[in-house]
Amino acid sequence: MTAPKLALATAPVSDAQVDAIVVGTVQNGSGVALAPGGGSVDAAFDGTLAEVLGALGATGRLDEIVKVPTMGRLKARLVVAAGLGKPDADGAVTPEQVRRASGAAARALGSSRHVASTLSTVDLQAAVEGTLLGAYSFSAYKSDPAKAALAKVDLAAPETGGTKEHRATLKAATAIAEAVIVARDLVNTPPNDLYPASFAERAVALAKDAGLDVEVLDEKGLKKNGFGGVLGVGGGSARQPRLVRITYKGPKARRKVALVGKGITFDTGGISIKPAANMEQMTSDMGGAAAVVASIVLAARLKYPLHVTATVPMAENMPSGNAYRPGDVLTMYGGKTVEVLNTDAEGRLILADAIVRAAEDDPDYLVETSTLTGAQLVSLGTRTAGVMGSDEFRDRVAGIARATGEGGWAMPLPDELRADLDSRLADLANVTGHRWGSMLAAGVFLREFVPDDLPWAHIDVAGPAYHAGGPYGYTAKGGTGVPVRTIAAVLADIAANG
């Protein structure tokens, strides 16, 4: 995609020669009100802009867009009012409200070439992220792709802080948004073009471009090293599995962090085949891997003082004469055995291999993410990730996820579910014999492969990684890039606080 160029405004946006100026609006008890930053634009309307917007039906609700022609009052042709929703008791709005309003404005201004925004005076980082993500579109497979018209956005600088600080925020926020876009592009690439080998090639290219070390195991290397979970799941496809390892060693690294992401490039369910309805959305089953690849490249761009290694298993789960079966027993990397009761519970099998390998590096923390279970959607819906793991680190990651606006909720790992994974043949089975607590049971399964003393968190993004409905805020239909921003914030938090 072609993203708009963002720059800090060097003059008042009310004087800008642009196509449109974005101002924020909020809901209040008596109607709509202007958010901070829109004062000079309001002055051009003799202080009546809120009244004009109210007459046009504006309420200030979140994601609302109302356009007002300036009729020569400003050099810009339009004022675009972007709703921020309800402020808190002190009149403040959250970064996520700014992010969503900026995204909605960017989508609404797709036919404009050059615009200015005052939303950045409320929260510069959120405005940058929202604008770039809201302007996103994926048209690589259109025979006549529409060219993104929004070329430049001038952002009014916040009143607090200096130019150097604002430029640093702009640079970092742009890098974060671009990492989300990398993940979105990977998820949105159809599975006939994104399969284990080609996914590995794209991961290698991204890593090499960032100056990172990369190791790729093909099916021969996987067999030689005993990655029974990855080989079992990927054996049914003519396009054989891969395992990619990417390493970043930051300046003055004080902590080691292992990242693991599920890379099922397409999931039919295998022999336990899925229903046909919505199976096309299983192109997103590598969303965790996409997020992890994008996140380690981002860590390098932002020069986090960390040693980060990403372990990314990639496989296509297909039914065939070579496919693994219900009743098979797999010997996982590290030696544990698993009886397969359902081949559609494949993600935990490739993740188990990757977790054991990642733990061999003796990390201080392990962060794993995947579109793991349909039960996550049943429990938490399509926009809230389930976070499981060791209690303290799980809660820390879930809190950070909410702070980024991606959303996350801490979930337990009940000990009583472990007995339901007992197998008559192997060390454990890959599913329980019932559907109760299915997301939690998957987490309990993964816990079996995590060293007891390693702080770890699993982020289940089965719903949040892919948006099947119409666009809203800064979220387009298709891949969302969740949880890149959460992982980035977790890494930043570990770098700052250990």
As a whole number of angstroms, the distance between CA 51 and CA 270 comes to 60
Active-site annotation holder among 274, 336, 383, 477:
274
Q: SS3 of 304, please? A: coil
As a whole number of angstroms, the distance between CA 120 and CA 99 comes to 10
Place of tokens 């003082």: 305
**Burial class, 398, CB count within 10 angstroms (exposed 0-12 / middle 13-18 / buried 19+):** buried
**What is the 8-class DSSP label of residue 475?**
B
Both tokens of residue 321?
A: 């004469």
Residues 6+ apart with CB under 8 A from 51: none
Length of the chain: 498
Is residue 107 part of the annotated active site? The answer reads no
Is residue 274 part of the annotated active site? The answer reads yes
Respond yes or no on whether the N-terminal peptide bond of residue 483 is cis (omega within 30° of 0): yes
As a whole number of angstroms, the distance between CA 80 and CA 117 comes to 9
As a whole number of angstroms, the distance between CA 216 and CA 219 comes to 10
Both tokens of residue 384?
A: 């809230």
Quickly list DSSP for 338-365: EE-S-TT--HHHHHHHHHHHHHTT--SE
Active-site annotation holder among 100, 107, 348, 447:
348
Q: Which residue numbers are catalytic?
A: 274, 348
